[in-house]
Chain A
């Protein structure tokens, strides 16, 4: 009788061991990462830069213009008075909604004043302190920073139907519409890709 009870105990223990091993295998398998491909499009991203000579840390030739972004379209209008303008900046970006951008006027042009904007907050920025405290009113390397914006994404980057903001400003000399350097500072990306055609 005692021997029978002992054998039953051994059998129960063996069953427990088998169950434990099976459970371990199942849990290990479900918790393990699946083997993902690592070649072709699944390889880590790399960058192929144009082959250009580098002299003294700079590249002495024009670089590939493909890296220029196209996030905005602009329209310039004249306001009454001398050198007073209104620029309308529209979102044509593939990113999504634009929340902030910075506009760098062309070198040599001085923005005297930003009179207002139809959306968000646009302020004039630049570097002060030129010549120590000798020229307190001189502001170099001006830019206009517009934030608190929500320029809605375009339905297609080809249509120019994204959100827009109009900025009124005055300059010290004539301003040409082509001289606009606009850079995205903040954006809310949309999940679904925006059509390009």
Chain B
């Protein structure tokens, strides 16, 4: 009787061990997939991509509004990575990066897109008050354009991301050195 009990317990522990590698988090990633995804992101360190992640953040003067990684293929491991910035000033553009990241930079792709948040050109009025000085910068804060603009920002963010917000995936974070860190799925 005692032997049977122990066998059942052992089988349970073995099953648990097996499940540990296949259990998925709320984002649909297993622990092993998260590690592999982070490893692929680490492959971008010290590349032009990490330099541009920092440069774009300085350019638009705001941290990314979205950073998302989605697993698109397990063999070979391929990830879709999407980073989107909403600018601080109305004169700066929305910027997004759509990347397909593999463990080999030769098969990875990195695309940048931009669009103007506000259609009309802004800036300081020239001395006669009739035209805008083309060398001046529109220093209106984008947040001052109100809820309609906020809605447009959100729509633009979603539109350029495609299916990157679907599972399996996780949110990510741009670090000071331009690296990407996977965030835990809650």
Contact = CB atoms under 8 A, between A and B. Distances in A.
Interface of A: 6, 9-10, 12-14, 16-17, 19-21, 23-24, 27-28, 30-34, 36, 40-47, 49, 54, 57-60, 62-63, 66-67, 69, 94-96, 104, 106-108, 127, 141, 179, 181, 183-194
A101 to B, nearest CB: 10
A104 B7 CA distance: 77
B interface SS class: mixed
A57 B112 contact: no
Contacts of A16: 6-7, 10-11, 13-14
A30 B31 CA distance: 9
A31 B31 contact: yes
Contacts of B14: 16, 19-20, 23
B8 to A, nearest CB: 9
A196 B131 CA distance: 36
Contacts of B137: 62-63
**Size band of the B side of the interface?**
35 or more
A187 B143 CA distance: 27
Contacts of B13: 16-17, 20-21, 24
Nearest to B137: A63
A45 B141 contact: no
Contacts of B162: none
A13 to B, nearest CB: 3
Given A13-B7, A58-B140, A63-B139, 15 more contacts: A20-B13, A20-B14, A23-B17, A27-B17, A31-B31, A33-B38, A36-B181, A41-B176, A44-B173, A44-B181, A57-B144, A58-B139, A127-B119, A190-B48, A194-B48
